[in-house]
Amino acid sequence: MGIPDMLPASDGALGPVGNATLQIHPSLKCNLSCAHCYSSSGPSAALSLDPALVCQAIEDASALGYTVVSVSGGEPLMYPGLEAVLRHAKSLGMRTTVTTNGFFTDHARFARLAGLVDVLAISLDGPPEVHNRVRGHPLAFERLHRGLDAVRAAGLAFGFIHTLTRTDWTHLPWVADYAAAQGASLLQVHPLEMSGRARSELADAGADENILARVYLMGIAIASKHGCRMQLQMDIVYREHVREHPGLFYACGNAAASAPEALGLLVLEADGSVVPLSHGFDQRYRIGNLHEQPLREAWPSFRDRRLPGLRRLCREVWDELGGDDGPLLSNWHEVVGARSHAHRIPAALTA
Ligand code: SF4
C-alpha cells in the first residue's frame, strides 16, 4: 500500500465507516488508570452491563444491519461476560474485535478467545519507558511483550492501537517497527481525544495540525516499509478527502436510509446509553438507553426525531473541515464529538 488508510474509524472499530460497527463498552472496570483514558476507566469504576442486555443489543444491531462488534472498555478481559457476548456475536455471523491494554499474559485466557475474536487490538504507546509512563505501571510493557506469546499461541490475529500525543508522536516509527516485528496485522493510529480523564490530566497533550502533518508523512514511509504485511490505519482525515466524500462524514443522506447507512458506528456505553459516532457523544443525540428500551425499539424513534439534528451537526462539521479555511488534516471524531456538546439543536428534535 502506498498511503495509509485515513478514514474516520473509531477506537476499537478497526475499519472504515463501511464496516457497520456496534462498539461496546460493557464495563469501565480496568486494572490501570491511564491519564489519557477517554472513558475515565479505572480500578474503582463500578458501571457494568448485564451480559444478557449486551447480547440483546447485539441481536438488535445485527437485525438493523450491523456486522461488526467491537468490545472495548474499561479492560474487556476483566469483564465476566466477555466470552458469552463474543459467542453470541459470532452465532449471528458478526465479526468481532476486542481492545485490551495488553496487561494479561495468561495462555488459558487467550486460548478461550480463539474462534471468538477476529482481531485483538492491543494498546501500545511507545518504547518500554514511554509505554510504562503512559500506562502508569513499571511493568506494563514487559507484560504486554510477554502476553504476545500467549496471543500467538492461541492463534489470535492481533494489531496495535497507538494513541498519538504532542509529547510522544516521534515514537511512531518505533511503534510500527515493533508491531511489524511481532507479527501484527494492523496498526491503528488514533490522535488523543480531549474527553474523559484526558480532558483534565492531559489538556495540553493533543497533537496540533503541524504534528498531524508530520505524522501523515511518517505514515507514508511506514506504509511503504510495512504495508505489505501490516495494515496502517490513521484516524486522521485529509481536507480534500472530507470535501469529496460527504457521505462518509454523515453530512448527507436520505430519511429512508437503513441504520448502517444513516450511521455506521453505534456506541453502547457502560451506563446502557447507545450514542452515535464516539464514546462520550452528547446525550441529546442518544439513540436510547437499554435500561429503558431495547435498541430495536429505540432506533425508529431516533431516526425520526434526533437523526435530523445529528445530520445538521455533521453537515456543519463537514463544512468546517472540508472548507477552504479548514485544517489540512484533522481528527474528525474529536471535532464532531466536541461539537456535539456545543451544538444547538431545536427542542423538537431532542424531545
Ligand atoms: S486507556 Fe485503556 S487501559 Fe488505560 S485506563 Fe482507560 S481503559 Fe484502562
How would you classify residue 43: left for phi > 0, otherwise alpha for psi between -120 and 50, otherwise beta?
Answer: alpha
Taking CA atoms only, the protein residue closest to ligand 1 atom 5 is 33
Percentage, residues of the chain above pLDDT 70: 93
pLDDT bin (cut points 50, 70, 90) of residue 350 is: low
Map out the domains of the chain with their CATH numbers: 3-236 (3.20.20.70)
pLDDT tops 80 at residue 299: yes
Say how far apart CA 14 and CA 70 lie, in whole Å.
8
CB of residue 101 inside a 6 A radius of ligand 1: yes
Taking CA atoms only, the protein residue closest to ligand 1 atom 7 is 74
Calculate how far, in angstroms, residue 74's C-alpha sits from the geometric centre of ligand 1: 6
Calculate how far, in angstroms, residue 101's C-alpha sits from the geometric centre of ligand 1: 7
Rounded average pLDDT over 110-136: 95
Q: Measured in Å, how far apart are the chain's first and last C-alpha atoms?
A: 47
What is the 3-state secondary structure of 168-235?
A: CHHHHHHHHHHHHHHCCCEEEEEECCCCCHHHHHCCCCCCCHHHHHHHHHHHHHHHHHHCCCCEEEEC
pLDDT bin (cut points 50, 70, 90) of residue 12 is: very low
- pLDDT at position 227 is 85
Query: Chain-wide mean pLDDT for the chain?
Result: 89
Calculate how far, in angstroms, residue 34's C-alpha sits from the geometric centre of ligand 1: 5
Rounded average pLDDT over 172-195: 94
Calculate how far, in angstroms, residue 80's C-alpha sits from the geometric centre of ligand 1: 17
pTM comes to 0.91
CB of residue 41 inside a 6 A radius of ligand 1: yes
**Angle, nearest 10°, between helix axes 128-135 and 140-153?**
100
Identify whether the C-beta of residue 207 lies closer than 8 Å to the C-beta of residue 190: no
Taking CA atoms only, the protein residue closest to ligand 1 atom 1 is 37
Nearest-atom index, ligand 1, CA of 40? 6
pLDDT tops 80 at residue 17: no
For residue 85 the three cell numbers come to 457476548
Calculate how far, in angstroms, residue 23's C-alpha sits from the geometric centre of ligand 1: 16
- pLDDT at position 346 is 62
CB of residue 11 inside a 6 A radius of ligand 1: no
pLDDT bin (cut points 50, 70, 90) of residue 205 is: confident
Q: Which residues contact 298 (CB under 8 A, 6 or more apart)?
A: 274, 287, 288, 289
Say how far apart CA 129 and CA 120 lie, in whole Å.
23
Calculate how far, in angstroms, residue 40's C-alpha sits from the geometric centre of ligand 1: 8
CB of residue 235 inside a 6 A radius of ligand 1: no
Residues 208-217: contacts with CB within 8 Å, 24+ apart?
A: 208/166, 209/327, 209/328, 209/329, 209/330, 211/164, 211/166, 211/169, 212/236, 212/327, 212/329, 212/330, 212/331, 213/328, 213/329, 214/169, 215/164, 215/169, 215/172, 215/189, 216/4, 216/6, 216/329
CB of residue 75 inside a 6 A radius of ligand 1: yes
CB of residue 259 inside a 6 A radius of ligand 1: no
